[in-house]
Amino acid sequence: MKKLVFIGVLAALAACSQSNTPAKSEAADVASAPTGTAAAFSLQPGVYDYKRSDGLTGINTVNADGTFSNARSTGEVETGKWAQEGDLSCLTPDGEGRAKRCYTFTRPDAEGKFTGTMADGVTIEVRKIS
């Protein structure tokens, strides 16, 4: 059942989102940019596979309209808003008592993988999948 909900969420979000394929010049810029540079990359709309250092994994869909949906490995689907705040990419979940999470991201490598760090030291490995 969880897989069906997860697949349904991804399909619905993919249908609503704009094209996530970067323009050739943008892809070239990302591929040729140095990797490992903190605060060098702003989150972009797309679908991302992630694994956090605290063990949480999932699929996060970031939409061009400023919303996101996060299908966690725990079975929970979190929704909310995202925004770029200076060098920080921030996710603000819907609902009371949910804390905003902000990450400083490195530039993606040639395979589209990048890392992020939160102020509390939690790190995240991210790969854009569409």
Instruction: Judge contact between 100 and 89, C-beta under 8 A.
Output: no
CATH code for the domain in which residue 58 is found: 2.40.128
Ramachandran area for residue 55 (φ above 0: left; ψ -120 to 50: alpha; else beta): left
Q: pLDDT of 17-69, one tens digit each?
A: 444 444 433 333 333 333 444 445 888 999 999 999 999 999 999 999 999 99
Q: pTM surpassing 0.85?
A: no
Number of domains in the chain: 1
DSSP 3-state helix, strand, coil percentages of the chain (rounded to 5)?
20, 40, 40
CA distance 98 to 93: 6
The domain in which residue 95 lies consists of: 2-128
